[in-house]
Structure 1
Amino acid sequence: MTEKKEHPSIGEFKEFVKKHPKLITEVRKGEKKWQELFEDWYLLGENDVSWKKYREESDESESTAEKKSDFMSRMMTAVKSMDANQMNQHLYNMNNTISSIQNLFSTFGLTKGSSSSQSNTPNHPFSFRKD
Structure 2
Amino acid sequence: MSEKQLHPSVQQFKDFVKTQPHLIQEVRRGDTTWQRLFEDWYLLGEEDTRFNSNPSAGKQEEASTDSSKSLWMSTVMNSLKNMDQNQVQGYIANISQALGTIQGVISQFSPSSGGSQNASTKATKQPTGPFSFRKD
The two structures have a TM-score, normalised by structure 2, of 0.42
Query: Could you say which structure has the greater relative contact order, defined with CA pairs below 8 angstroms and 6 or more residues apart?
Result: 1
The two structures have a TM-score, normalised by structure 1, of 0.44
